[in-house]
């Protein structure tokens, strides 16, 4: 049994082979098709495809105008990418506490961390479970902050009937190898404002506005770059893989959600296990199934002995010296960090695998 699962559908192989045969492997029509399909099938708002989740986050901060001396609020319960992109803009990461019942950033803690320098807030949907987005967007609107959702875990999640990817000014997804849907590597930046999307299209490719550039006798089109751009575009080979994998995504997501529902049912009340809270107004994408357990290392050893892999996936990131070292003002984070661990929840699991996961935990450790 694997902890993560990389799914490559037959359609992904077919479309990728076709891209290779045509020789068109750079950015082209497949990227446009992939963007249109993400909007149509998953409700993404103005998606702009890029070459990773990290570059989507970085581009969003650049578009939000985050720069030196600005502060950006984020949770420590995430992967380092969320914090590093803030440093890349010369800004300061400010860590807010999480709700230990979900692993998601706590709106009250965001309020307490806001200063006149705060420019943006980056909620992370831990394990794919949506944060309190109405509250977070209301706080942000009241303080003129940009909201940049890190939805790397949350492909297909919904909040109050609306898809993640259409809730905040910016939402960033990852299509890296072990995510729900992979392009090999890739990402998408969704923008509520069409003008942000237009700017993202330009700045994902060096800041060159292809639509406005003029052909010239010299062989290079004439253009003027007015803001720093990046080489962040997705290419057609990756988009072909993504398009193919998108076709069976709804069934694969449903399978993950069914496995998670089974775990929730069968693990409720097991001594030493606390399940994360699940409110009725939101649906998790179930990228991880995180539990809170007592004596975590014993738990991991016992499951491993039964052939069940488990992992914390990511510990809090603020301990890294690049972020200034461990904070002691995040009690929810400290509690969660000491107990959280995830068990396999992907569509590659058989029913017998799921039985083994539940059985191993129920036996105790």
Ligand X SMILES: Cc1ncc(COP(=O)(O)O)c(C=O)c1O
Find the binder of ligand X among 130, 187, 238, 332 (CB under 6 A): 187
> How many of the other CB atoms lie within 10 Å of CB of 316?
23
Specify the DSSP class assigned to residue 286: -
Shortest distance, CB of residue 82 to ligand X, whole angstroms? 5
> How many of the other CB atoms lie within 10 Å of CB of 120?
24
Shortest distance, CB of residue 24 to ligand X, whole angstroms? 23
Residue 205 near residue 179, CB atoms below 8 Å: no
Q: Which is nearer to ligand X, 147 or 360 (CB)?
A: 147
Give the Cα separation of 228 and 124 in Å (integer).
26
Angle between helices 236-247 and 249-267 (to 10 degrees): 60
Tokens of 104: 């998601």
- Residue 77 lies near ligand X (rule: CB under 6 A): no
Give the Cα separation of 307 and 301 in Å (integer).
10
Angle between helices 53-63 and 194-203 (to 10 degrees): 120
- Residue 340 lies near ligand X (rule: CB under 6 A): no
Q: Say whether 327 sits in a helix, a strand or coil.
A: coil
How many residues form the binding site for ligand X (CB under 6 A)? Answer: 14
Find the binder of ligand X among 70, 99, 132, 150 (CB under 6 A): 150
Find the binder of ligand X among 73, 121, 147, 152 (CB under 6 A): 152
- Residue 75 lies near ligand X (rule: CB under 6 A): no
Taking the CA atoms of the chain, what radius of gyration do you get in angstroms? 21
Alpha helices by DSSP H, the chain = 10-22, 29-42, 53-63, 80-88, 107-113, 133-142, 194-203, 236-247, 249-267, 296-305, 331-339, 351-362
Give the Cα separation of 36 and 56 in Å (integer).
17
Site map (CB under 6 A) of ligand X, residues 7-46, x = contact: ----------------------------------------
> Which one of the spans 1-9, 41-49, 78-86, 135-143 is the region binding ligand X (CB under 6 A)?
78-86
- Residue 52 lies near ligand X (rule: CB under 6 A): yes
- Residue 156 lies near ligand X (rule: CB under 6 A): no
- Residue 130 lies near ligand X (rule: CB under 6 A): no
Find the binder of ligand X among 15, 44, 53, 148 (CB under 6 A): 53
- Residue 286 lies near ligand X (rule: CB under 6 A): no
Site map (CB under 6 A) of ligand X, residues 81-120, x = contact: xx--------------------------------------
- Residue 333 lies near ligand X (rule: CB under 6 A): no
Give the Cα separation of 77 and 198 in Å (integer).
31
Find the binder of ligand X among 124, 155, 237, 361 (CB under 6 A): 124
Alpha helices by DSSP H, 10-100 = 10-22, 29-42, 53-63, 80-88
Shortest distance, CB of residue 191 to ligand X, whole angstroms? 18
Count of all residues that appear for the chain in the document: 365
Find the binder of ligand X among 9, 46, 54, 337 (CB under 6 A): 54
Q: Which is nearer to ligand X, 272 or 309 (CB)?
A: 309
> How many of the other CB atoms lie within 10 Å of CB of 65?
11
Q: Which is nearer to ligand X, 81 or 241 (CB)?
A: 81
Q: Which is nearer to ligand X, 183 or 243 (CB)?
A: 183
- Residue 230 lies near ligand X (rule: CB under 6 A): no
- Residue 335 lies near ligand X (rule: CB under 6 A): no
Q: Say whether 325 sits in a helix, a strand or coil.
A: coil
- Residue 147 lies near ligand X (rule: CB under 6 A): no
- The site for ligand X (CB under 6 A) is made up of 52-54, 78-79, 81-82, 124, 150, 152-153, 174, 176, 187
């Amino acid at each position: 049994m694997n902890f993560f699962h990389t799914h490559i559908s037959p359609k992904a192989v077919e479309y990728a082979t076709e891209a290779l045969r045509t020789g068109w492997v750079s950015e082209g029509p497949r990227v446009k098709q992939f963007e249109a399909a993400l909007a149509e099938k998953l409700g993404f708002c103005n998606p702009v495809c890029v070459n990773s989740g990290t570059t989507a986050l970085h581009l969003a901060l650049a578009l939000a105008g985050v720069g030196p001396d600005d502060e950006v609020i984020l949770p420590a319960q995430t992967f380092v990418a969320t914090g590093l992109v803030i440093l890349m803009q010369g800004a300061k990461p400010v860590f807010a506490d999480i709700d230990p019942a979900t692993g998601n950033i706590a709106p009250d803690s965001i309020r307490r961390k806001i200063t006149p320098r705060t420019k943006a807030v980056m909620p992370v949907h831990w394990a794919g479970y949506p944060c309190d987005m109405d509250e977070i967007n209301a706080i942000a609107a009241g303080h003129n902050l940009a909201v940049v959702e890190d939805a790397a875990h949350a492909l297909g999640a919904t909040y109050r009937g609306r898809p993640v990817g259409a809730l905040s000014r910016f939402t960033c997804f990852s299509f890296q190898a072990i995510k729900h849907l992979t392009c090999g590597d890739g990402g998408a930046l969704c923008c509520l404002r069409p003008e942000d999307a237009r700017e993202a299209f330009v700045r994902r490719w060096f800041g060159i506005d292809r639509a406005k550039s003029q052909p010239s006798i010299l062989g290079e089109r004439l253009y003027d770059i007015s803001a720093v751009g990046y080489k962040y575009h997705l290419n057609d080979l990756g988009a072909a893989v993504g398009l193919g994998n998108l076709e069976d995504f709804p069934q694969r997501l449903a399978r993950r959600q069914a496995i998670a529902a089974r775990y929730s049912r069968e693990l409720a009340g097991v001594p030493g296990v606390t399940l994360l809270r699940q409110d009725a107004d939101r649906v998790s994408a179930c990228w991880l199934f995180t539990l809170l357990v007592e004596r975590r290392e014993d738990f991991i050893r016992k499951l491993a002995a039964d052939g069940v892999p488990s992992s914390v996936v990511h510990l809090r990131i603020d301990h890294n010296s690049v972020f200034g070292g461990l904070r002691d003002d995040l009690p929810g984070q400290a509690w969660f960090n000491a107990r959280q661990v995830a068990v396999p929840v992907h569509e590659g699991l058989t029913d017998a695998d799921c039985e083994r996961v539940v059985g191993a935990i129920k036996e105790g450790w």
